[in-house]
């Protein structure tokens, strides 16, 4: 039988979404092989069996680990400007709100993004996507949310479409026009919802420019009533929905995510145990973002807070947190938050696929998309210890080579 490509290596692939606290179901084949036809995996098994297949390309990574391509389910990688100097203010002990008062924070990114050209936005975002791929990422979610007016958010959606077209990895597009309230709508959140957020949802839906709608649900941003209005509107239009919930304080975001059966609720640092239990009951994924603590200089939380939930890990890449390595996020989740290495691997593969409602990625399995990553390590434990420069040797998305590029 003829196939396009055989990838030989030590197969380590989660098989099912993992509920934190339960035992992971993982396929391990010491001398394994993934057989690929076109964009799909045809078979996964022993090298001794599959080597008889007729393949023009055989990639021999014996002794190295082959995993599903990694999935980053939460980034804000589409923006202009540079806020690295805010680190010096953080080192002086200034918080998020004080930095914003001095002209920094999200509003400075909004200003730079509104002024940037379409080409600049596409170019810088593609560069960031390329950086993500260096740690084995083959799927990345990217949000809008730094233009905060109808015209600007539409431009960002169109830029995302262009990034998706030009990128070697899979890009999922999220409309986050409800990221913050811009200066011109200060104190008029409902007006902003009506005149900007709902209109951008209409546009995204009509032009198929986003898979998801997201809301930053926090006091001072969008309250739960506003979030509910926005998310229900998105769902009624056939879009999928997720939300930034309970990051700064418990304002009922997790409960709302459960009530609306969203695909995921993200952040959740301050979520109540009741809210998290509701999410677990309704099958809402928890997207945990370890770099958010790190870049805000806050002490890390324990991952055990999320026991009982399907937990995914993301980088939360944004102008205030330019950490682009998902394997480093795994490293941080294990060393600082107490996650097990196998839980971290599930969190960036099969669980992250669920957090993005993707049904045929995140697992090395016959019929699934041919997305894989090969690392020069012995197993997922060593992968987690190598948090800095990624030991990535090779990666593939939809049967096409991503790294080396
Ligand atoms: Zn975020």
pLDDT in tens, 205-236: 999 999 999 999 999 899 999 999 999 999 99
Q: How many angstroms separate the alpha carbon of residue 225 from the centre of ligand 1?
A: 20
pLDDT-based confidence at 96, cuts 50/70/90?
A: confident
Residue 293: predicted pLDDT: 85
Average pLDDT, the chain: 96
Cα(70) to centroid of ligand 1, in Å?
19
Which sign, positive or negative, has the C-alpha torsion 182, 162, 129, 17?
positive
- Please state which of the ranges 46-50, 104-108, 250-254 shows the lowest mean pLDDT: 104-108
Among 84-93, 290-299, 345-354, 386-395, name the most confident range. 345-354
| 78 C-alpha to ligand 1 centroid (Å) | 12
What's the CA-to-centroid distance between 318 and ligand 1, angstroms? Answer: 8
Q: Is pLDDT at 399 greater than 90 in this prediction?
A: yes
**Per-residue model confidence as pLDDT tens digits over 165-187:** 999 999 999 999 999 999 999 99
Contacts of 272-278 with CB under 8 Å at 24 or more apart are 272/246, 273/305, 275/245, 275/246, 275/250, 276/305, 276/306, 276/308, 276/309, 277/308, 278/254
**376 Cα: distance to centroid of ligand 1 (angstroms):** 31
Name the band, by pLDDT with cuts 50, 70 and 90, for residue 1.
confident
Give me 221's structure tokens. 């941003």
CATH of domain 71-355: 3.20.20.140
Residue 335 alpha carbon to ligand 1 centre in Å: 22
Share of the chain above pLDDT 90, in %: 93
Ligand 1 centroid – CA 68 distance (Å)? 24
Answer whether residue 388 shows pLDDT above 90: no
- Tell me the Ramachandran region of residue 289: left when phi exceeds 0, alpha when psi lies from -120 to 50, beta otherwise: beta
CA angle (173 as vertex; 266, 332 as ends), nearest 5: 40
At residue 229, the pLDDT reads 98
pLDDT at 95 over 90: no
Residue 57 CA to ligand 1 center (angstroms) comes to 40
Q: Is the pLDDT of residue 193 over 90?
A: yes
Query: How far is the centre of ligand 1, averaged over its atoms, from the C-alpha of 75 (Å)?
Result: 6
H or E segment to which residue 58 belongs: strand 57-68
The band of 103, judged by pLDDT with boundaries at 50, 70 and 90, is confident
Residue 154 φ/ψ, nearest 5 degrees? -65, -40
Confidence check: pLDDT of 389 > 90? no
What average pLDDT does range 377-387 have in this prediction? Answer: 94
Rounded to the nearest whole angstrom, what is the distance from the C-alpha of residue 27 to the centroid of ligand 1? 32
Q: Where are the extended beta strands (E) located within 113-169? A: 137-143
Per-residue pLDDT, 150: 98
CA of 33 to the centre of ligand 1 (A): 37
* pLDDT for the residue numbered 101: 85
Q: In whole angstroms, what is the distance from residue 146 CA to residue 125 CA?
A: 13
**Residue 387 confidence (pLDDT):** 79
**Residue 192 C-alpha to ligand 1 middle, in angstroms?**
20
Provide the pLDDT for residue 97: 79
> Ligand 1 center to residue 84 CA distance, Å?
17
Three-class SS state of 124: helix
Q: Which two tokens stand for residue 149?
A: 């007016």
Q: What is the DSSP string of 346-360?
A: HHTTHHHHHHTT-SS
Q: CATH 2.30.40.10 residue ranges in the chain?
A: 5-68+362-403
Q: What is the pLDDT of residue 100?
A: 84
pLDDT digits (tens, 9 = 90+) for 64-80: 999 999 999 999 999 99
Give pTM, 2 decimals.
0.98
Contact in structure between 269 and 292 (CB atoms under 8 Å): yes
Where are the domain boundaries for CATH 3.20.20.140 in the chain? 71-355
pLDDT of residue 264 exceeding 90, the answer is yes
Q: 5-68+362-403 architecture in CATH?
A: Roll (2.30)
Which of the four pLDDT bands, split at 50, 70 and 90, describes residue 46?
very high
Distance 316 CA to ligand 1 centre (A): 5
Question: What are the tens digits of pLDDT across the range 109-154?
Answer: 999 999 999 999 999 999 999 999 999 999 999 999 999 999 999 9
């Amino acid at each position: 039988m003829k196939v396009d490509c055989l990838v030989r290596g030590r197969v380590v692939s989660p098989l099912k979404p993992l509920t934190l606290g339960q035992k992971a179901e993982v396929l391990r084949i010491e001398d394994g092989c993934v057989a690929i036809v076109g964009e799909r995996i045809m078979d996964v098994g022993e090298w001794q069996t599959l080597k008889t297949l007729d393949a023009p390309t055989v990639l021999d990574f014996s002794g190295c680990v082959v995993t599903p391509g990694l999935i980053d389910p939460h980034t804000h990688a589409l923006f202009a400007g540079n806020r690295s100097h805010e680190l010096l203010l953080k080192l002086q002990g200034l918080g998020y709100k004080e930095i914003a008062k001095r002209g920094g924070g999200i509003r400075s990114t909004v200003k730079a993004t509104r002024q940037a050209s379409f080409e600049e936005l596409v170019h810088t975002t593609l560069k960031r996507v390329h950086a993500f791929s260096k740690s084995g990422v083959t799927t990345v979610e990217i949000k809008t949310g730094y233009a905060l007016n109808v015209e600007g958010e539409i431009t960002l959606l169109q830029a995302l479409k262009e990034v998706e077209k030009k990128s070697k990895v899979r890009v999922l597009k999220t409309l986050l026009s409800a990221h913050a309230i811009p200066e011109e709508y200060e104190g008029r959140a409902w007006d902003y919802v009506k005149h900007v957020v709902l209109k951008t949802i209409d546009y995204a839906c009509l032009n198929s420019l986003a898979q998801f709608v997201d809301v930053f649900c926090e006091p001072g941003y969008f309250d739960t009533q506003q979030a509910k209005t926005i998310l229900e509107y998105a769902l009624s239009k056939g879009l999928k929905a997720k939300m930034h919930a309970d990051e700064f304080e418990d304002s009922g975001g997790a409960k709302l995510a459960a009530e609306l059966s969203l695909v995921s609720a993200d952040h959740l640092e301050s979520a109540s145990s009741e809210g998290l239990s509701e999410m677990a009951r309704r099958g809402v994924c928890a997207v945990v973002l370890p770099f958010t603590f790190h870049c805000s200089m806050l002490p890390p939380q324990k991952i055990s807070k999320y026991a009982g939930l399907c937990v995914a890990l993301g980088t939360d890449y944004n102008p205030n947190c330019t950490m682009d390595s998902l394997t480093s996020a795994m490293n941080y989740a294990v060393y600082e938050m107490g996650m097990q290495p196998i839980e971290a691997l599930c969190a960036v593969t099969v669980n992250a696929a669920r957090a993005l409602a993707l049904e045929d990625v995140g697992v090395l399995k016959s019929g699934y998309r041919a997305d894989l990553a090969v690392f020069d390590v012995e197993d997922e434990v060593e992968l987690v210890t190598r948090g800095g420069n990624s030991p990535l040797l090779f990666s593939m998305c939809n049967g096409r080579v991503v790294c080396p590029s």
